[in-house]
Amino acid sequence: MRFLKEFLFLSLLMIVGCQGDEKKDGDETRLLPQKNQFEKVIGGKKTSLFYLSNDSGMKAAITNYGGRVVGLIVPDKEGKPVDVVLGFASIDEYQASAEPYYGALIGRVGNRITNGRFSIGGVDYTVTRNNGPNTLHGGAMGFHSVVWDAEQESDSSLILKYFSPHGEEGFPGNLEVKVVYTLSSGNWLEMKYWAKTDALTPVNLTNHAFFNLNGEGSGTINNHIMMIDAGFYTPVDSMLIPTGELRFVENTPFDFRIPVKIGSRLGTSACVQLKYGHGYDHNFALNPSEEKVSLAARVRGDKTGIVMSVYTNEPGLQFYGGNFMKSENRLKSGVDDHFRTAFCLETQHFPDAVNQPGFPSVLLDKGEVFNSVSIYEFDVK
């Protein structure tokens, strides 16, 4: 079945044309922001910008403010540099942004917690509500808004660490977190997550990079071709909280098992789920695999020919189609973040799992270690 998916995907790629914008040599330097625009003191800690590179033409810019991927340069089919991650040119712009999650590390619990409440061992906890009556991505001052301790091991690797104290945003237990960003010579960006605690607490870490494989500022992502290796998704209510059900994707707009244009079903479907999310903003239950890290999704930019393959050991993948982008922010390329000009593929445990006994548990206990990996591999077709 997996071989069939690969064959169909590559066959479809050969049909669709891929023509990139003209860029001059050395544009990868121009495309990434300047380090001095990221030097600031926030909460008594210094922020900065760190550059990663490999021998295959990839470059990344990452700031320790929120652990954000600010830019990611990938060669297109003609070898020309394309920045495939949306971001801003300075720390000030990130702080002022109407969208707080661009490129950021997300925690202590990614996605939504209904009513900002949960119980552990008979003890009730209330955490910060920042999404109507619910908690989203760790609360108002989640990991996206803190300054991480940074250590650059090499030109291709960056270590970020953060200590989340007991009671931060209402979560129990002290939590030590480490995330390692690595640019591999195989043209992938790897994110390794590690955490441990001194008390039972929910943990669900991810990254919220906004991708456009045609390049930041290139227009809609609805013509990107995507495959998600998932036979089920978790439907939501009108507040985007999972109902607890696993629903089969067959004969629904959520069937991406065979590659299809992202926006091909958005304008014609009367699907209630798409109305709730104003498009796609749903968790997919990835198909089980015997591999420790397996393919979760594959997306191709229709203009550049850049293909991104996502691998993970997580059970879920949140696909967000940029439905709440409102042209309220000026990006580092000088254009606004228009409606559906980026997508997110967030590897994760399921949303609201702390309140859903039928979902894989997100509880981490004392003595246990949280380990998760996300790999974003790039190629051209």
Domain ranges of the chain: 2-380
> What DSSP character marks residue 94?
H
Burial class (CB in 10 A: 0-12, 13-18, 19+), 10: middle
Confidence of residue 269 (pLDDT cuts 50, 70, 90): low
What span, in angstroms and rounded, lies between the C-alpha atoms of 89 and 261? 30
What span, in angstroms and rounded, lies between the C-alpha atoms of 203 and 109? 5
Q: Which amino acid is at 201?
A: T
Counting Cα atoms < 13 Å in the Cβ hemisphere of 283 gives: 27
Class of the 2-380 domain?
A: mainly beta
Instruction: Give pLDDT tens digits for 149-173.
Output: 999 989 999 999 999 999 999 999 9
Please name the helix (run of DSSP H) or strand (run of DSSP E) that holds residue 2, with its range, or none. Answer: helix 2-15
What span, in angstroms and rounded, lies between the C-alpha atoms of 223 and 213? 11
Q: Furthest-apart CA pair in the chain: how many Å?
A: 62
Instruction: Give pLDDT tens digits for 107-159.
Output: 999 999 999 999 999 999 999 999 999 999 999 999 999 999 999 989 999 99
- What are the Cα distances from residue 380, in Å, to 14, 62, 214? 11, 24, 12
Instruction: Give pLDDT tens digits for 308-364.
Output: 999 999 999 999 999 999 999 999 999 999 999 999 999 999 999 999 999 999 999
- Known catalytic residues are 208, 346
Spatial CA neighbour of 233 closest among 316, 299, 324:
316
The yes-or-no verdict on residue 103 having pLDDT over 50 is yes
What span, in angstroms and rounded, lies between the C-alpha atoms of 283 and 120? 24
CA angle (337, 339, 342) in 5-degree steps:
65
Phi/psi at 181 (5° precision) = -95, 130
Spatial CA neighbour of 169 closest among 222, 207, 113, 208:
113
Rg (CA), the chain: 20
The yes-or-no verdict on residue 2 having pLDDT over 50 is no
> At a CB cut-off of 8 Å and minimum separation 6, what does 14 contact?
381
Q: Which residue in the block uniquely carries the two structure tokens 């109507």?
A: 132
Beta strand 230-234 pairing with 281-286: antiparallel
Which tokens belong to 356? 């859903």
What span, in angstroms and rounded, lies between the C-alpha atoms of 38 and 87? 12
